Amino acid sequence: MFRLEPRASASLGWQIATPVLAVLATMLVGGILFAAMGFDPLAAIRTIFWDPLFGPASGYSRPQLLVKAGPLILIACGLALGFRAGIWNIGAEGQYIIGAICGAAVALAAYPLDAFWIFPAMILAGAAGGWAWGMIPALLRNWFGASEILVSLMLVYVAQKIAAWMAFGPMKNPEGFNFPGSRNLQQYEAAANPELIAGSGLHWGVVAAGVALALTWFVMSRHILGFQIRTAGAAPRAARFAGVRPERLVALCLGVSGALAGLAGLFEVAGPAGQITESFGSGYGFTAIIVAFLGRLHPLGILLAGLLMALTYIGGELAQMMLNLPAATVQVFQGMLLFFLLGFDILTRYRIRRRA
């Protein structure tokens, strides 16, 4: 009836159109889902996609957009480098958690000292922690050929256990009435990552995300490293021929994406989250994978996709409060979005022809 015909080269128009199509399809199917559950689909869609920005409570939710988009974009920038090269870091969530723990460790060790170097040192420690966690799958792949997909993913669960151990053990707040969880860094001025402009949601993590976007754009389009990354992803043999050492690229991409995820974790623990808890990971590391792909691994796309995914987080919470939608709504939405994106993606490389 229909058949797929490969295109000579990927269609630029469809590359831009498929993310939009995926969002529309997600809204449509999500609406049908809500209707089937007995909710008013239009109200639900409006609550998720419209109200956080322009609804009655938008004064509260709008700053949240940057708070949520910041870490997503920061992590997705690093992931996009690796994904372009065919290096699949699925464990950004783990690197995010370890980065947060390392950064918090510096702050908790320094407590209650008030010194200018504490926050910069936390930033370095957060990046180093994420980098080190990302280098584990890199080295295992380079030395033993282990799949970085599996190793990085499994290290997420290890990191979650470490976070729980920290919250119950070494990092437990001595003045916290024996509740699990570290001191709240927001209340420790030298270590806090505060909102820079009141009511904007802007904190240092968002600034870092902006810098990461600019750097990613520069490396990918102007620097030979970006060219080598793209070559390695498109044609590994050509990359070797050009002089790219695959092992070096693996270490670089996993290291950089780990460091950026670690930074995101540090800014989160020092700011919006405030403390290491047993369930510190909030899924940003996984959602960032969707952000990277939805954004076509391109900095501008990642910016838009990060904001959109942040919107689904906030809108999902709003829908829980206002309409009593189940908490899983956000994950369902995010999952559908990736599903439709990958599905529609086929249109960029193939065209549909009616079979004669």
The residues of the shown chain that bind other proteins, judged by CB under 8 A, are 8-10, 222-227, 230-231, 234-235, 237-238, 240-243, 245
Distance CA 209, CA 193 (A): 14
What is the nearest approach in angstroms of other proteins to the Cβ of residue 299? 17
Q: CA-CA distance, 158 to 226, in Å (whole number)?
A: 32
**Nearer to other proteins (CB atom), residue 179 or residue 241:** 241
Which of 159/219 has CB closer to other proteins? Answer: 219
Peptide bond into 272 cis (omega under 30): no
At 86, give phi and psi (nearest 5°).
Answer: 75, 25
Task: Write the CB contacts of 115 (distance below 8 Å, at least 6 apart in sequence).
Answer: 190
Residue among 150 and 307 whose Cβ is closer to other proteins: 150
Q: Tell me how crowded residue 41 is: count the other CB atoms within 10 A of its CB.
A: 17
Q: Shortest distance, CB of residue 202 to other proteins, whole angstroms? A: 31
Nearer to other proteins, 10 or 327 (CB): 10
Q: Which is nearer to other proteins, 234 or 321 (CB)?
A: 234
Cis peptide before 299 (omega within 30 of 0): no
Q: Which residue has the tokens 């200018």?
A: 116
Smallest separation (angstroms) from other proteins to the CB of 227: 6
Question: Residue 172 or 245: which CB sits closer to other proteins?
Answer: 245
CB of 232 to other proteins, least distance (A): 10
With H, G, I as helix, E, B as strand and everything else as coil, classify residue 179. Answer: coil
Sorted by sequence, the CB contacts under 8 Å of residue 351 that are 6+ apart come out as: 4, 5, 7, 11
Which alpha helices (DSSP H) does 2-91 contain, by range? 12-36, 41-49, 51-54, 58-85
Identify residue 69 by its one-letter amino acid code. Answer: A
CB of 305 to other proteins, least distance (A): 22
Q: How far is the CB of 26 from other proteins (least distance, A)?
A: 28
